[in-house]
Chain A
Amino acid sequence: MVQSLIKILINPGAFFAELKGEEEENLKWPLLIVLLGGIAAAGYGYLFGEVTAKMMEGALPGIGALVTISSAIGALIGVFIFWLIWTVVVFAISMAFKGQGSFKRTLQVIGYGYLPQVIGSIITVIVAFEYIPRIVVPYVTAAMMQDPVAMQGVTTALMHDPAMLEMTQITSIIAMVFLLWSANIWIFGLQKARSLSPMNAALCVGIPVIAYILFMIYNLGVS
């Protein structure tokens, strides 16, 4: 299976061509891949949750653990939600190109294609380990909780911390690279899953991916 996973990354066309029989709709490996991605995302969520917890500790003593665990669990669940929504979007677009094939098969393809983002998430966690300790965390007091302007000021200050800005830029680039890597896999997979031409499959995957990446670039610009 390790060889298959490597094949997904470097030769996705061959990998999907080799899927036959029950394997064509088996979600075991996609589920594991997404779970790995979720665990990596949970690690990042945990680290970032610590920052949030530190910020809130003055206002809500004892909430630190709750915030940290919530962030980790939220990131884990978020990855599965992303998997589902992304599948829905791609499946819906492919319907415009008269794609044929089950939703489950598309779900499987999107799941396999999530593998590069697992790697991206692990790299992101490593980057976070490096940058998060350098972030100067503003503390929120109980009085500030009643003042939206103050809260906005604190949040803005946190997001504009130099270490935070640098980390955001690096992780955004990482996310873009590995999302495009995933897109490459999804295009090959969607051709098989929805019986689409390479051009149509590229459009079905490329439109939301490019839109999402442009949105990320826009966020980098306005942040």
Chain B
Amino acid sequence: MNFNSRITVICLIILGTMITGVVNADNSQSMAPVTGKVFVSSTTFDPAVFFTGDKGTATYVVTNSNTNTSVMLNHGTFSDGDLQLISDTYDYSHTIGPLQTRPFTFSILADAPEGDYYPTFSLSFYDSNLYHKSLLRIDNTPLELTLVDKPDAFSQGKKKTIYMQVANPRDNDVDTGILEVSGDGITVTPSRIFIGEIASGAKIPVNISVTPDHETTLNLHLTYNNGNNPHEVTRDIPITFGTDKKQADPVMSNVQVTTEGMTYHVTGDVNNAGLDTANTVTVTSLSPAVPQDPYKTFVVGALKADDFGSFEITFETDGNVTSAPVQISFKDIDGNIYTSVQNVTIPATRFSVPKNDGPPLVPIIAGLVIVAVFIGGWYFYLRKKQQ
């Protein structure tokens, strides 16, 4: 090849290179408006707020807002110095059509202390990269299991109601809430309560009925899911026996006893000296008295505090008693039955033979003395007359 030929080839190469460079420059200038219209349209974390140690997902939705141009997406990644990616990155190319969206989901482990984090999602185009940061919160605030109200004291075998409340102070909803209640020597109804989803800021009332056999501790165990991560809250409530200061206290007064045949009629009033309402107040007599018709048992009904009602009962005795026990029973709001007994004095001589204290000596002696005086008087009279 002579010199001219060599010059010609070099010129052609230079010319070709120049032509290629001009074309490429034209392409770059023409694709820039296209990739600029590809963006992350939404970011979703599940759960919305993590506990430390929670596993979840981060989903980024990429939108191609170009109306007639497809875009090639390469190498979608999730990166953060504190949060741990536990799934793979998107290493393959994906084409996203005009006006289409494509989600990129990553499994992550929030293995970091409580706080705010800004993980990065990145995508590569053939000529540029897309970087997107969004807020991810780690908050270790648990649900609140609150004791709203409970009786002043419990009694053996008596059912009482405890009023609870489950509240969600977190910024995200939790679900599958279940409250389990247990305790040694205690009967709880219901012992397992499904609460379900608990919205952020929501308060859900929960009532349980407790019947203790002895003093014990009530164990409350609330479980719930934050995303797919189970969490729990426990609480203990001491169950101690004592007297309920507000308990209804029916007291008998104005008691009057009359008799008819072998039957005693007892009438009177029942006053509620307590603070709570006494429901289904009934009055009846106990052994040795034997309740008789027409008023074997008298139902006074409900008595509010300071209220009173009249009653009338009828009964018989074996005739050897001077008092008869009269029982007042009532139910509290939980249906527990309470009883109190008050003795009513009855006429001892009504049907009974009094205790035999021996013959009445005074009238007998008086009678004998009178007879003796009479006989003696006549004896001396006759002797005197004979003399």
Contacts and interface: CB of A to CB of B under 8 A. Distances in A.
Partners in one complex: yes
A165 B370 CA distance: 20
A198 B377 CA distance: 13
A216 B349 contact: no
Contacts of B371: 176, 180, 210, 213-214
Contacts of A204: none
A150 interface: yes
Interface residues of B, number: 29
A89 B366 CA distance: 26
A177 interface: yes
A136 interface: yes
B22 interface: no
B359 A221 contact: yes
Nearest to B368: A217
B1 interface: no
Given A157-B353, A216-B367, A222-B359, A199 B260 contact: no
Chain A at the B interface: SS class: helix
A180 B353 contact: no
Interface in B355-387: 359-360, 362-364, 366-368, 370-371, 374-375, 378, 381-382, 385
A217 B364 contact: yes
A58 interface: yes
Contacts of B298: none
B367 A157 contact: no
Interface in A89-103: none
Contacts, number: 93
Contacts of B366: 173
Interface string B66-85: 00000000000000000000
Contacts of A223: 360
A154 interface: yes
Contacts of A221: 359-360, 364
A interface, size bucket: 35 or more
B319 interface: yes
Contacts of A213: 367, 370-371
B261 A202 contact: no
A139 B259 contact: yes
A198 B382 contact: yes
Contacts of A165: 360
A141 interface: yes
A173 B367 contact: yes
B125 interface: no
Given A172-B363, A210-B375, A213-B367, A157 B261 contact: no
Nearest to A181: B374
B382 A202 contact: yes
A153 to B, nearest CB: 6
B359 A220 contact: yes
B347 interface: yes
A84 to B, nearest CB: 24
B380 to A, nearest CB: 12
B261 A144 contact: yes
B260 A58 contact: yes
A176 B370 contact: yes
Interface in A158-201: 160-162, 165, 169-170, 172-173, 176-177, 180, 183-184, 187, 198-199
A156 interface: yes
Contacts of B374: 180, 183-184
Contact of B259 (A136, A156, A180): A136
Q: What 5 pairs across the A-B complex have the smallest Cβ distances?
A: A141-B261, A221-B359, A169-B363, A139-B261, A157-B351
Interface of A: 58-59, 136, 138-141, 144, 150, 153-154, 156-157, 160-162, 165, 169-170, 172-173, 176-177, 180, 183-184, 187, 198-199, 202, 206, 210, 213-214, 216-217, 220-223
Interface of B: 259-263, 319, 347, 349-354, 359-360, 362-364, 366-368, 370-371, 374-375, 378, 381-382, 385
12 contacts: A136-B347, A138-B262, A141-B261, A141-B263, A157-B349, A169-B360, A172-B367, A176-B370, A180-B374, A198-B385, A210-B371, A217-B367
